[in-house]
Amino acid sequence: MTNPLYDALYAPLAGQGRGLMYLPGGGVLSADDFHAMVARAAGALVAAGLQPGDRVAVQVPKSAHALALIGGAIARGVVFLPLNTAYTADEISYFIRDAGARLLIADPARADALAPVVRAAGAGLLTLGATGAGSFADAMAAAPAAHPVARAADDLAGLLYTSGTTGRSKGAMLTQDNLLSNAQLLARAWRFGPDDVLLHALPVFHTHGLFVATNTVLLSGGAMILHPGFDLDAVIAALPRATAMMGVPTFYTRLLADPRLTRDLVAHMRLFTSGSAPLLAETHAEFAARTGHAILERYGMTETNMNTSNPYDGDRRPGTVGPPLPGVEVIVTDPETGTELPRGKTGMIEVRGPNVFVGYWNMREKTAEELRANGFFITGDLGRFDDDGYLHIVGRAKDLIISGGYNVYPKEVELLLDDAPGVLESAVVGVPHPDFGEAVLAVIVPADGAAPDAGALETLLQGRIARYKQPKSYEFLPALPRNTMGKVQKADLRARFSRRFTGE
Ligand code: MLC
Ligand code: AMP
């Protein structure tokens, strides 16, 4: 019997008394204890009636229990569907229905708000809180440990939703081997080993915190300091005990804004990595000057895991995401024809390899549009290779805003705003923001005679979409700039409001 992902990440933890997770309250969870938690989480999923291939949706605060739950799902072949804790009941309803999830495991604090949508979707509801309270935690305590089931490398492990340009989120189907092959690549590329202690402050419902961070450490026998989120004081306090940290650019700009970030503070660190959003070259340079560390920037996405990385040994070049990782093919193509372009030319970035997902859940046409028959995935990112084979990301062909590492698809917000009373039409764009890199800004064209105010629009969006997707500023114009074809010129709007948050 084999279950390749379980066998590589979790089975080896059995019997190891070493510390695996340093918890927020000061406790330490040994590898063996965590292994036992995974087995009990597997048992609780069995007790809830879940079979291999069933989907479990998970919207819980970050904790060791949450990670054990993911491990338990992998052990039992239950496909896990991790969901941003900021998602509203409306958003959760869509995910459960679309995925046909049999069970939602949610924060006890949100159980009342979520119960109606879960019931309407015909799913079950259990709860798991930050400190391991809740009905799922009770089931873990009561259930006998369950053994892992056999899985093949191409069996589904996770279903991760990414928003779509049409406003409908798509579930990216990730196999056991997608996740395992990438963890193996990253552990090797970034030299992770048993002496590593990763400062883990990323959320565990996205690729970055869940796969890049957690899986790489589990695989390589290291440990992690688990923080519930990014808290600057807590991160500064923990840095002297860590060897590595993975972050989004906001982590680094916040650290740089604090005088406590010094060479001495990070003397024990061997690696800082950045991804999920572009790291400004000036942030890279400032961090290097202050700490002596060149942040290692890499490039990935939900559908592909990690594709390229600056080298561990060798030149880590600011403003680039490095060469392709070993075994991952990255090409740049003409966006119109799909023909591969010569080095130096800018075009669509396409990716092929064991890391690339197998398609969007129940969306055959969407899959065919983005995943070519020859295995190349059309990322929607625009880039070029330089003479040394480093990839530069120069823009996005997809209408997407990345704010603090979270993706916001303007269409999803525009559809809601366009429906608001007094709004003729709207355009949502991303503009520079000192903390989040980009922030969401809405441009509203009032209907004749109407004068909607920002407060009313804010109220309308409350409870409909996650807070981080909601515009941080509303601007009013008599008309949207359009080209001769009638297409809204978002570049004009971005330029016009580019200093709204930076105040330069
Ligand atoms: C929080 N807020 C945000 C926000 N995060 N607004 C815009 N963009 C964001 N990213 C808002 C909240 O709604 C709230 O608004 C206010 O900011 C404070 O909330 P908070 O929860 O206290 O914020 P904070 O903890 O400081 O969070 C900021 C952050 C966090 C940058 C630490 O967003 C974060 O952890 N981002 C990482 C995202 C990530 O892991 N992405 C990986 C995706 S995978 P208000 O108005 O209520 O006060 C991927 C593939 C790859 O992209 O390559 O890795
Ligand atoms: P997601 O869909 O949340 O997985 O986000 C993936 C997107 O994040 C990619 O398609 C890129 O646009 C962006 N991204 C990830 N890493 C980087 C990076 N290092 N630099 C620039 N953009 C990045």
Closest ligand 2 atom number to CA of residue 321: 19
Task: Please work out whether the CB of residue 157 comes within 6 Å of at least one atom of ligand 2.
Answer: no
Q: Which residues, including other chains, have CB under 8 Å from residue 329's CB and lie 6 or more apart?
A: 351, 352, 353, 376
Closest ligand to Cα 405: 1
Closest ligand to Cα 209: 1
The pLDDT score that the predictor gives to residue 504 is: 64
Side chain identity at 101, as an amino acid letter?
Answer: A
Closest ligand to Cα 87: 1
Record the pTM.
0.97
Bridge partners (DSSP) of residue 446 are 423
Closest ligand 2 atom number to CA of residue 396: 12
Reported CATH class of domain 4-151: alpha beta
Task: Please work out whether the CB of residue 436 comes within 6 Å of at least one atom of ligand 1.
Answer: yes
Closest ligand to Cα 379: 2
Task: Please work out whether the CB of residue 401 comes within 6 Å of at least one atom of ligand 2.
Answer: no
Task: Please work out whether the CB of residue 221 comes within 6 Å of at least one atom of ligand 1.
Answer: no
**Distance between CA atoms of 90 and 56, rounded to whole angstroms?**
18
Task: Please work out whether the CB of residue 62 comes within 6 Å of at least one atom of ligand 1.
Answer: no
Ligand 1: residue whose CA is nearest its atom 29: 404
Residue 56 alpha carbon to ligand 2 centre in Å = 26
Instruction: Count CA within 13 A, CB hemisphere, residue 451.
Output: 0
Closest ligand to Cα 275: 2
The pLDDT score that the predictor gives to residue 336 is: 94
Side chain identity at 7, as an amino acid letter?
Answer: D
Ligand 1: residue whose CA is nearest its atom 4: 468
Closest ligand to Cα 383: 2
CATH number for the domain running over 401-496? 3.30.300.30
Task: Please work out whether the CB of residue 18 comes within 6 Å of at least one atom of ligand 1.
Answer: no
Helices (H), 228-296: 232-238, 249-256, 281-291
The pLDDT score that the predictor gives to residue 166 is: 63
Task: Please work out whether the CB of residue 299 comes within 6 Å of at least one atom of ligand 2.
Answer: yes
**Distance between CA atoms of 49 and 150, rounded to whole angstroms?**
18
The pLDDT score that the predictor gives to residue 448 is: 84
Q: Which residues, including other chains, have CB under 8 Å from residue 281's CB and lie 6 or more apart?
A: 318, 319
Residues of the chain with CATH 3.30.300.30: 401-496
Quick one: tokens of 298? 């890499």
Task: Please work out whether the CB of residue 303 comes within 6 Å of at least one atom of ligand 2.
Answer: no
End-to-end CA distance of the chain: 62
Residue 275 alpha carbon to ligand 2 centre in Å = 7
The pLDDT score that the predictor gives to residue 351 is: 98
Say if CB 417 and CB 429 are below 8 A apart.
no
Task: Please work out whether the CB of residue 350 comes within 6 Å of at least one atom of ligand 2.
Answer: no
Residues of the chain with CATH 3.40.50.12780: 4-151, 198-396
Task: Please work out whether the CB of residue 148 comes within 6 Å of at least one atom of ligand 1.
Answer: no
Q: Which residue, 31, 77, 72, is CA-closest to 51?
A: 77
Ligand 1: residue whose CA is nearest its atom 1: 468
Q: What homologous superfamily is domain 198-396 in, according to CATH?
A: ANL, N-terminal domain (3.40.50.12780)
The pLDDT tens digits along the chain (504 residues) read 799 999 999 999 999 999 999 999 899 999 999 999 999 999 999 999 999 999 999 999 999 999 999 999 999 999 999 999 999 999 999 999 999 999 999 999 999 999 999 999 999 999 999 988 999 999 999 999 999 999 999 999 999 999 766 667 999 999 999 999 999 999 999 999 999 999 999 999 999 999 999 999 999 999 999 999 999 999 999 999 999 999 999 999 999 999 999 999 999 999 999 999 999 999 999 999 999 999 999 999 999 999 999 999 999 999 999 999 999 999 999 999 999 999 999 999 999 999 999 999 999 999 999 999 999 999 999 999 999 999 999 999 988 999 999 999 999 999 999 999 999 999 999 999 999 999 999 999 999 877 788 999 999 999 899 999 999 999 999 999 999 988 999 999 999 999 999 986
Closest ligand 2 atom number to CA of residue 303: 4
Task: Please work out whether the CB of residue 230 comes within 6 Å of at least one atom of ligand 1.
Answer: yes
Residue 313 alpha carbon to ligand 1 centre in Å = 31
Residue 94 alpha carbon to ligand 2 centre in Å = 24
Our mutation pick for probing the ligand 2 site, out of 301, 306, 377, counting the most ligand atoms within 8 A of Cβ, is 301
**Distance between CA atoms of 288 and 223, rounded to whole angstroms?**
25
Closest ligand to Cα 231: 1
Give the pairing of strands 377-385 and 391-396. antiparallel
Residue 367 alpha carbon to ligand 2 centre in Å = 19
User: How many residues are given for the chain?
Assistant: 504
Residue 308 alpha carbon to ligand 2 centre in Å = 11
Task: Please work out whether the CB of residue 501 comes within 6 Å of at least one atom of ligand 1.
Answer: no
